[in-house]
């Protein structure tokens, strides 16, 4: 009978051939030092470089390394979900492969978990190796997200966290939405949560997978997934524009019948039409985002498709995935 796994480390990877080897070395060094059983689950999210081949090599050399290889790129959040679906440890840790989140912080998370906390997330006290623009946009992103979402999501916190088996089971069995924002879902499910402060390091190798525009899209996904505020704002904006139109009509009538002056000029008319039509299109876009989410959910397609898995016997639940286990 195989040894029960105490900790599952989920590592989503996408075109990380320059860092996979070092990531494995440092994770292994950290987890060996804790003296308890563990597994390292690398989720290859459709990499186009040698990442998948390198992880297969690690599987051949290290029995603690497991591989989930997607049939194509399904996205970072889905890769995390797949790793959690297949994790068998009493505690599950999610960490990116770029080594910006130091693996040794996992030991501090484990200490908090043993104190009774069921979710321990890493809170960035400092961000090294990033431009002032990146730091400023990240600062604004987390504050804006916190103000817009209905769920309290901690600021300066990414997906680097430890979650208890009970939390992992809830997310695997009971959370079925396709458009996933993991840190928001973890906050939504509740349980006893705390943080561990750490200094985020410079990326070890390769390029960031979250440039500015992708961060904007990520923020939009998070807001639409966890808040109805944009719909309320669209309603308020519609009321405001309607009242403005009636006020302008009242002003025009007063000028015509009391001041005996007719408002002339096509310029003001064109400007008002552009403004109001722009607002209407903006509101339709917001509504369209929500309708698109409903459409995505109604199709009931698999969340991900696994081309190959190594070292995994079966998932914790029947995942919305097609598997080819080898």
pLDDT at 305: 86
**17 alpha-carbon distance from chain centroid:** 22
Please give the Cα distance from 105 to 85 (Å, whole number). Answer: 23
pLDDT at 219: 67
Long-range contact set of residues 215-219: C-beta below 8 Å, sequence gap at least 24: 215/137, 215/138, 215/141, 219/141, 219/144, 219/145
pLDDT at 158: 79
pLDDT at 320: 46
* Domain ranges, ordered by start, for the chain: 7-227+301-322, 229-299
* Assigned CATH class of 7-227+301-322: alpha beta
Pairing type for strands 304-310 and 65-70 reads antiparallel
Is the separation of the CB atoms in 236 and 244 below 8 Å? Answer: no
For the stretch 192-212, pLDDT in tens is: 888 888 888 766 555 655 556
What's the residue count for the chain? Answer: 326
pLDDT at 44: 92
The segments of the chain whose pLDDT lies below 50 read: 1, 316-326
Instruction: Calculate the dihedral angle through the C-alpha atoms of 266, 268, 271, 276, rounding to the nearest 10 degrees.
Output: -110
pLDDT at 120: 92
Distance spanning both ends of the chain, measured CA to CA:
19
Please give the Cα distance from 111 to 106 (Å, whole number). Answer: 9
pLDDT at 11: 93
pLDDT at 192: 87
The label of the residue with tokens 């390769």 reads: 206
């Amino acid at each position: 009978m195989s040894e029960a796994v105490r900790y599952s480390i989920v590592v989503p990877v996408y075109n990380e051939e320059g860092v996979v080897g070092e990531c494995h070395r440092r994770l292994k060094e950290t987890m060996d030092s804790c003296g308890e059983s563990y597994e390292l689950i690398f989720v290859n999210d459709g990499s186009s470089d040698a990442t998948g081949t390198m992880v297969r090599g690690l599987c051949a050399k290290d029995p603690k390394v497991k591989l989930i290889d997607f049939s194509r790129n399904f996205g970072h959040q889905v890769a995390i979900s797949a790793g959690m679906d297949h994790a068998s440890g009493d505690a599950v840790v999610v960490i990116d492969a770029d080594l910006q989140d130091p693996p040794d912080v996992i030991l501090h998370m484990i200490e908090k978990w043993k104190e009774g906390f069921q979710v321990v997330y890493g809170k960035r006290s400092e961000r090294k190796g990033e431009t002032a623009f990146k730091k400023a946009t990240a600062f604004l992103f987390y504050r804006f997200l916190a103000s817009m979402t209905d769920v309290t999501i901690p600021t300066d916190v990414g997906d680097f966290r430890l979650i208890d088996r009970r939390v992992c089971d809830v997310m695997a069995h009971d959370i079925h939405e396709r458009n996933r924002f993991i840190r928001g879902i973890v906050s939504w499910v509740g349980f006893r949560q705390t943080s561990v402060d750490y200094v985020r390091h410079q990326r070890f190798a390769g390029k960031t997978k979250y440039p500015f525009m992708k961060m904007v899209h990520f923020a939009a996904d998070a807001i639409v997934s966890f808040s109805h505020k944009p719909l309320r704002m669209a309603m308020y904006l519609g009321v405001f524009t309607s009242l403005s139109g009636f006020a302008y009509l009242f002003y025009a009538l007063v000028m015509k019948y009391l001041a005996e002056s007719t408002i002339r000029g096509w310029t003001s008319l064109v400007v008002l039409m552009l403004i109001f039509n722009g607002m209407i299109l903006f509101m339709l876009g917001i509504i369209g985002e929500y309708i698109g989410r409903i459409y995505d959910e109604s199709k009931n397609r698999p969340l991900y498709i696994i081309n190959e898995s190594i070292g995994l016997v079966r998932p914790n639940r029947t995942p919305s995935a097609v598997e080819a286990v080898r």
